[in-house]
A and B are shown apart, each in its own frame.
Chain A
Amino acid sequence: MSAPAERWNEPSGVRLHLPLPACAHCGLEVPAGRIEPDAARQFCCDGCSTVFALLRSSELEDYYQVRDRLGGKREAAIVTQRTYEDFDDEALQALVVTRGPAGDSRVRFHLEGLHCGACVWLVEKVCQKVPGVLEARVDLGRQQLSLVYTAEALKLSTLAKRLDRFGYPCHVNVGDPADSAAREQDKKLLIRMGVAAAAAGNAMLMAFALYSGLAQGVDREIWTLFRWGSLLVTVPAVLWCGSVFFQRAWMALRARTPHMDIPISLGILAGFIWGAVNTVRGSGEIYFDTLGVLTFLLLVGRYIQQRSQRRSLDDAALLQSLAPSSARVETETGTRELPIGAIPVGAVVVVQAGEVLPVDGVVLTGSSTLNVALLTGESMPEEVGEGQNVFAGTLNLQSELRICASASGQSTRVGQLVKSLEHSALLRPKIALLADRVAAYFVVLVTALAAFTVWLWWSTSPERAVENAIALLVVSCPCALAMATPLAISSALGRAARAGILIKSGEAVERLAQAEEVVFDKTGTLTGGQLGLAGWCGDESLKTWVQALEAHSTHPVGRALAAHLPRDPDVQVCDAKATLGSGIEGTVNGRNVRVGKLTFALGNAGLPEFALNFAEASRRLGRSLVAVSVDGAVAAVASLEDPLRKDAQDCLTKLQGFGLKLAVLSGDQQSVVQSVAQALGNPFADVRGEVSPEGKRDALALRASGGHVVMVGDGVNDAGALAAASVGVAVHGGAEASLKVADVYVTKEGLGPLVQLFRGARRTLAVIRRGMAFSLFYNAISIVLAMTGHLNPLIAAILMPLSSITVIFNAYRSRTF
């Protein structure tokens, strides 16, 4: 069927577009091929029409009204055919289901396809209509559904299946207990923050009265009352809320490592103890308001940092939970979905085209092509047939395979690799962060200055000496200095996430900014990981013929040819027949054409004269060859390779411009890696192919011990290296294992975000440095005032927030990512 837009091609050259009808569910354009002229409603895909029918039959059509009113996003529905039987598995339930107080069960699902308020409405409504569900609440920000249900009345698979049919595929996150512990931690910090705020507010009100002349007032009893009142409200703020800092400082002292919390604790404790002593004595200065505000601001900084970091970790966990968690296993009673970890050795697993192999094993029936790039880094797909060994983590490209499992879960090759990562994580050298290094000097300087102040004033009056030294300790408490890093980092993490870069920790930003070398993986990182046409030798007019013939192929090579050769709708193909593992043959425009492996297309004949040089050159570059024969005679030879990403060249040039050293470590053949490096103009200091995953890991560990090295990769074979590098960056489309260990995950296609990542990290570090400079400047002023005896609590109360505001402004107004 021809597209309606084409029918409106006017001879005058004016092109009128008949608007394509909108999908009744998602409102997107309906592809021409799917238009049904007689139907009252058009749908863009099966998913949308299924969901529409379901909504009507469940009397939930209100969804469309809700969506329009809330201005919700319209997106095509995702519907899978999973049965979710693995959700009923007891081993899995033991991990994710918790028991409520009244004998009810609670579970949390990650949902795909949650876009807007209307989705929230629909999911909650759908759940409430399922018998056995007591409560269903969606958290849109976390893309989570919290469910309370009666285990006797509801099978989880029933509910999951129902949500799936409405376009919300469900996933369970097995790491959830850690998540709830993190939530508790968030809550505790939030409570401390609130208590500190209340205390600081009250102390400030009372201080206001004291500063505005109560001290000179007639009524000494009221003056004493206000001082005691201030002490009363400051006790919980300092001793309870501030204990966060004291504990950390104590730990750092015992471990003899510098930490920002040491000068903070010093200032707060000195000020508090001296203030308490002065309150009891009934004379001298108190700094309770400043201390309260200090504690509050510091807790705010810490909370913001924790939240932004949690946010990126949540996003990464969400991505991980999307990885397939179940596999279809044949049993006596038919096929069942089982959780991947629970597949017994010897079980028969069915893997369809487009699915990732869940187990290591031997092919029982079927033959297909596997993409092994994620596991080994080899760019050429691998043909497998009966009796051959296959490995978990590879992608089945072509047709269904039945595999007898020889290892599953942790004991697969991928599982072993991931296990070895726990070891690699320990290899990463610990480095003190910039803020902590500054803090180390700061403590020494401040205590020395305090001692100097005491000595300076001792002869004048011992009391003035202590008074001034304490004032110095309080005002030099590096509140703004401590906030400079978390604020800059949290604002940077937020901006990076919006730009499609998930950074899991703030430390990674600092290490990225100081990186000296970037090591790239080849397959899937520098290249797209998918075959493309590299060269053509012979009859050019055959290109359209081959394209038309290969359109009938499911083989990755065939699909690459079909996608990259020019299309001509007038070429007639009949009797297309594919021979697995060899090629395809058919009648094109009345002539017999064979496309495929050399032996398939040529028979016993050798390569013709004209193609010899081409074939030799292609082999040297590690490209694979496809021959085309017409009526038994070879007419053309094509070569295929995994093409470079479009933005690879540009990205590498820019990274070089940043002064970074570049290198390539790949599991692919040396010749292929060399040719890729050549194609990029060889900007690399080191190009190595045929490196094993362990080899990569050790190479990175070695480099990382010398300076900051960033590893960029995607595959399981890179995971060890990602963990051993100072910073591991997993690119879009990476394997689950690499996602788990990487510090940074890029959610956008291509290498462009890398440039943004390095530039952003450097800018962030500059912002941190600027913030520190501001706060040190304020500190210098106040220290001079304190040493000369000109500082009083009022000036401290003004200077302290002023410096903090400068730092906050600096962190949030600066461009980073």
Chain B
Amino acid sequence: MSVLFVLLPLGILLSAGATVAYIWAVKRGQFDDTQTPALRILMDDEEHRRAATTDVKD
């Protein structure tokens, strides 16, 4: 059971790391707009698809 003396602080450290990552994400504005990015990913798709079809034509 003494392995817990290493694992517990390690676990806390790990979750501290995750928290820091979360704080970074909030500060960078990743949660500012939760609606538009979901649409934007579809648009990129659209362009690539078009680019691909033009390639075939050429």
The answer to whether B50 has its CB under 8 Å from any CB of chain A is yes
Assess the B12–A70 pair: CB atoms within 8 A.
no
Assess the A222–B19 pair: CB atoms within 8 A.
no
The answer to whether A778 has its CB under 8 Å from any CB of chain B is no
Assess the A120–B19 pair: CB atoms within 8 A.
no
B39 contacts which chain A residues (CB < 8 A)? 70, 116-117, 120, 140
Q: Write the B11-40 contact mask toward A (1 if CB under 8 angstroms, else 0).
A: 110011011001100110101111110011
The answer to whether B1 has its CB under 8 Å from any CB of chain A is yes
By beta carbon, the residue of chain B nearest A138 is B36
Assess the A194–B33 pair: CB atoms within 8 A.
no
Contact A120 to B43, CB < 8 A, known contacts A62-B50, A183-B32, A190-B31: yes
Assess the A191–B4 pair: CB atoms within 8 A.
no
The answer to whether A187 has its CB under 8 Å from any CB of chain B is yes
Contact A202 to B33, CB < 8 A, known contacts A187-B27, A191-B23: no
Assess the B26–A194 pair: CB atoms within 8 A.
yes
B5 contacts which chain A residues (CB < 8 A)? 222, 225
B34 contacts which chain A residues (CB < 8 A)? 141
The answer to whether B52 has its CB under 8 Å from any CB of chain A is no
Contacting residues of chain A (192-236) with chain B, CB-CB under 8 angstroms: 194-195, 198, 201-202, 205-206, 219, 222, 225-226, 229, 232-233
B11 contacts which chain A residues (CB < 8 A)? 202, 205
The answer to whether B56 has its CB under 8 Å from any CB of chain A is no
Assess the B35–A70 pair: CB atoms within 8 A.
no
Assess the B35–A140 pair: CB atoms within 8 A.
yes
The answer to whether A702 has its CB under 8 Å from any CB of chain B is no
**A139 contacts which of B31, B36, B50 (Cβ < 8 Å)?**
B36
A267-B2 Cα distance, complex, nearest whole Å: 35
A140-B32 Cα distance, complex, nearest whole Å: 11
The answer to whether A591 has its CB under 8 Å from any CB of chain B is no
A202-B16 Cα distance, complex, nearest whole Å: 10
Assess the A195–B23 pair: CB atoms within 8 A.
yes
**A140 contacts which of B18, B22, B36, B50 (Cβ < 8 Å)?**
B36
**B26 contacts which of A137, A187, A201 (Cβ < 8 Å)?**
A187
Contacting residues of chain A (336-382) with chain B, CB-CB under 8 angstroms: none
By beta carbon, the residue of chain B nearest A183 is B32
Assess the A66–B46 pair: CB atoms within 8 A.
yes
A797-B27 Cα distance, complex, nearest whole Å: 32
Assess the A65–B46 pair: CB atoms within 8 A.
yes
Assess the B23–A219 pair: CB atoms within 8 A.
no
The answer to whether A17 has its CB under 8 Å from any CB of chain B is no
Q: How far is the CB of B36 from chain A (nearest CB, A)?
A: 5
Assess the A201–B33 pair: CB atoms within 8 A.
no
**A219 contacts which of B1, B18, B47 (Cβ < 8 Å)?**
B1
**B12 contacts which of A62, A194, A233 (Cβ < 8 Å)?**
A233
A229 contacts which chain B residues (CB < 8 A)? 8-9, 12
Assess the A141–B46 pair: CB atoms within 8 A.
no
Contact A117 to B27, CB < 8 A, known contacts A225-B4, A232-B12: no
**B33 contacts which of A139, A206, A219, A233 (Cβ < 8 Å)?**
A139
Q: Write the A162-202 contact mask toward B (1 if CB under 8 angstroms, else 0).
A: 00000000000000000000010001001100110010011
Q: How far is the CB of B45 from chain A (nearest CB, A)?
A: 9
Contacting residues of chain A (105-144) with chain B, CB-CB under 8 angstroms: 116-117, 120-121, 137-142
B31 contacts which chain A residues (CB < 8 A)? 187, 190
**A66 contacts which of B15, B19, B43 (Cβ < 8 Å)?**
B43
Assess the B42–A69 pair: CB atoms within 8 A.
yes
By beta carbon, the residue of chain B nearest A69 is B46
Q: How far is the CB of B34 from chain A (nearest CB, A)?
A: 8
B12 contacts which chain A residues (CB < 8 A)? 202, 229, 232-233
Assess the B46–A190 pair: CB atoms within 8 A.
no
Contacting residues of chain A (537-593) with chain B, CB-CB under 8 angstroms: none
B16 contacts which chain A residues (CB < 8 A)? 198
B9 contacts which chain A residues (CB < 8 A)? 229
A69 contacts which chain B residues (CB < 8 A)? 42, 46
B19 contacts which chain A residues (CB < 8 A)? 194-195, 198
Q: Write the A591-610 contact mask toward B (1 if CB under 8 angstroms, else 0).
A: 00000000000000000000
Assess the A226–B35 pair: CB atoms within 8 A.
no
A202 contacts which chain B residues (CB < 8 A)? 11-12, 15
By beta carbon, the residue of chain B nearest A140 is B36
Assess the A194–B8 pair: CB atoms within 8 A.
no
A116-B43 Cα distance, complex, nearest whole Å: 12
Assess the B26–A190 pair: CB atoms within 8 A.
yes
A809-B19 Cα distance, complex, nearest whole Å: 29
A71-B47 Cα distance, complex, nearest whole Å: 17
B40 contacts which chain A residues (CB < 8 A)? 117, 120
Contact A198 to B18, CB < 8 A, known contacts A70-B39, A141-B36, A190-B31: yes
Which 8 residue pairs across A and B have the least CB separation, nearest first? A117-B39, A141-B35, A198-B19, A140-B36, A139-B33, A194-B22, A121-B43, A190-B26
Query: Can you give 30 A-B contacts (C-beta < 8 A)?
Result: A62-B46, A66-B46, A70-B42, A117-B40, A117-B43, A120-B39, A120-B43, A121-B46, A139-B35, A139-B36, A141-B36, A142-B33, A187-B26, A191-B23, A191-B26, A194-B26, A198-B15, A198-B16, A198-B18, A198-B22, A205-B11, A206-B8, A219-B1, A222-B1, A222-B2, A222-B4, A226-B8, A229-B12, A232-B12, A233-B12
Knowing that A139-B35, A187-B26 touch, tell me 10 more A-B residue pairs with CB under 8 angstroms.
Answer: A69-B42, A141-B36, A190-B26, A191-B26, A195-B23, A198-B15, A202-B11, A206-B8, A225-B4, A229-B9
| Chain B interface residues toward A at CB < 8 A | 1-2, 4-5, 8-9, 11-12, 15-16, 18-19, 22-23, 26-27, 29, 31-36, 39-40, 42-43, 46-47, 50
